[in-house]
Amino acid sequence: MTDRMIDRTPVPEVAGVIIPWFTPANRPTEDRLQETAGLVEALGCNLAFLRAEHVRKVNSSVLLSGGILDRLAEDLRQNDCTVAVVDGDLTPVQQRNLERKLEVKVIDRTGLILEIFGLRARTKEGRLQVELARLLYERSRLVRTWTHLERQRGGGGFLSGPGESQLEADRRMLDDKILRLRRDLDDVKRTRAVQRAGRKRSGKPVIALVGYTNAGKSTLFNQMSGADVFARDMPFATLDPTIRRFDLPTLGEAALIDTVGFITDLPTHLIDSFQATLEEAMQADLLVHVRDRSSRADLEQAEDVMIVLEQLEAETGLPLPPMIEVWNKADLLPDDRAEALAFSARGPLDTPAVLVSALTGTGINELLDLIEAVLLKGATEIELELGTKDGRARAWLHRNGEVLSETTLDSGNVVMTARLPNDRLGQFYSEFPDFNPA
């Protein structure tokens, strides 16, 4: 008998995708179509078809008008699709009714992004945050959205009280899970706070990369830090935050943080769940907003990033750190466009900018110089003579600033030169008024 090899490779799902639009103002551009195709492919699905659909009359039960729904059903059947993606917002009722009519799994934009996050989370923290986002979304629907998110129920109905409906039981079970996840994430927040405090005590500046997904943050992160973080030309290649050391020209060692990419209509569940991670960016000394200047949607993407940052500012109560922009992917620009942008970056701008190619390394030295210049603009260098009775002040400066030099005098006193962020300088003078020159 001849042994036959059995192919156990999972068969990828086949997706048919539509992007509904309702007015000329929200008609999807070619860039939006490409972005949606990238999201579907990032999920590991084979893309059967993708098109924009003008919905002139909204059907409250299924969103789509009859003709569009019939054509979608027919195309799904002809292409043997197992998933229908509606790149927009669906109510729970609309999603459930569409699944019944189309006889395939239906997910909307939020569900699609959550699915990708579920695949990409690698660390314990990342998985906790994704699971919380998914449960918050699931609670708002209480219908089965994902094949891999099966609810586990106790036997014999012991979870349900007398007269309790299944809906109430499901909601209570999800609330219990959400509460446990929030407690676990509170532990993550405490751990991150301790780590942040350690970095602040070291006096080393912290720089966080932010930007639209696929703008090239991870490639830039690798170029600046010499790390080998996963970087691919696809949405949400980076999900779990990464921190590495890198060197600035004169300030020396600094910390660099790579963060999850933002996207148009980023689900609020994700902003809520990833707050522990995103607070890292909010508490950095400097934000580096990485923009893909080769994208036709660059301006819209930059606006979307600022919307998310403003949401974070409101939700965390933390002010936005100073910001510069990296105009990335210079290697993909025509020469005349690259020259024009390089000239603009050298001129007066509301937000300082530098043109780079994270892939080739062009402009990285100019970026490091700009980072250092902005950091130094927000810091003051002071020189103090400290006596033996000033041990507490000396320790404070080591803990909260950057000590540049210490010279011991014949008298035994120490002359210290230190650099302090301006807010820390005020704290120092408040704590040790004898040193305040005012």
Are 216 and 356 members of one domain?
Answer: yes
Give the residue with greater pLDDT, 167 vs 321: 321
Residue 7 falls within a domain, yes or no?
Answer: no
> Which pLDDT score, from 0 to 100, does residue 202 have?
63
Are 394 and 368 members of one domain?
Answer: no
1-15, 187-201, 326-340, 356-370, range with the lowest pLDDT? 1-15
Dihedral (CA of 428, 320, 362, 215) sign: positive
> Coil, helix or strand for 261?
coil
In the predicted model, what is the mean pLDDT of the chain? 83
What would the mean pLDDT of 142-165 be, rounded to a whole number? 42
Residue 144 falls within a domain, yes or no?
Answer: no
Strands 14-21, 83-86: pairing kind? parallel
Residue 268 has pLDDT above 90, yes or no: no
What would the mean pLDDT of 408-430 be, rounded to a whole number? 86
Range of the domain at 276: 199-377
Q: Where are the alpha helices (DSSP H) in 203-297?
A: 217-225, 268-273, 275-282
> Which pLDDT score, from 0 to 100, does residue 82 have?
94
Residue 352 binned pLDDT confidence (cut-offs 50, 70, 90):
very high
Contact 95, 145 (CB under 8 A): yes
Q: What's the CA gap between 273 and 134, in Å, rounded? A: 9
Q: Which two tokens stand for residue 313?
A: 């500012």
Residue 420 falls within a domain, yes or no?
Answer: yes
Strands 414-421, 402-408: pairing kind? antiparallel
What beta strand segments (E) does 233-311 contain?
Answer: 242-248, 252-258, 286-292
Which residue's structure tokens are 């930007």?
211
Q: What's the CA gap between 62 and 95, in Å, rounded? A: 7
Are 359 and 386 members of one domain?
Answer: no
Split into its structural domains, the chain has a count of: 3
**Cα torsion through 231, 237, 238, 239, rounded to 10:** -160
Residue 259 binned pLDDT confidence (cut-offs 50, 70, 90):
confident
What would the mean pLDDT of 413-431 be, rounded to a whole number? 85
Q: What's the CA gap between 220 and 238, in Å, rounded? A: 12
Are 351 and 413 members of one domain?
Answer: no
The CATH number given to whatever domain includes residue 267 is: 3.40.50.300
> Nearest CA to 84 among 5, 12, 14?
14
Distances (CA, A) of 238 to 222, 226, 339: 12, 16, 30
Residue 408 has pLDDT above 50, yes or no: yes
Residues 6+ apart with CB under 8 A from 389: none
Q: What's the CA gap between 340 and 309, in Å, rounded? A: 28
Per-range mean pLDDT, top range of 183-192, 276-285, 308-317: 308-317
Are 410 and 353 members of one domain?
Answer: no
Are 413 and 297 members of one domain?
Answer: no
Residue 76 has pLDDT above 50, yes or no: yes
Q: What's the CA gap between 215 and 312, in Å, rounded? A: 20
Residue 242's beta-bridge partner residues? 258
Residue 108's beta-bridge partner residues? 86
> Which pLDDT score, from 0 to 100, does residue 103 have?
94
Q: Which two tokens stand for residue 295?
A: 């994208």
Residue 125 falls within a domain, yes or no?
Answer: no
> Which pLDDT score, from 0 to 100, does residue 161 have?
41
Are 322 and 267 members of one domain?
Answer: yes
Strands 206-211, 379-386: pairing kind? unpaired
> Which pLDDT score, from 0 to 100, does residue 425 have?
85
Residue 121 falls within a domain, yes or no?
Answer: no
Q: What's the CA gap between 141 and 96, in Å, rounded? A: 9
Give the residue with greater pLDDT, 11 vs 214: 214
Contact 361, 238 (CB under 8 A): no
81-85, 338-342, 354-358, 375-379, range with the lowest pLDDT? 375-379
- Environment class of 24 (CB within 10 Å of its CB; exposed 0-12, middle 13-18, buried 19+): exposed
> Which pLDDT score, from 0 to 100, does residue 238 have?
56
Q: What's the CA gap between 175 and 393, in Å, rounded? A: 49
Q: pLDDT tens for residues 169-219?
A: 778 888 889 899 888 888 877 877 777 676 666 667 889 999 998 899 989
220-234, 250-264, 315-329, range with the lowest pLDDT? 220-234
Per-range mean pLDDT, top range of 43-47, 83-87, 121-125, 160-164: 83-87
Q: What's the CA gap between 106 and 89, in Å, rounded? A: 12
Are 311 and 365 members of one domain?
Answer: yes
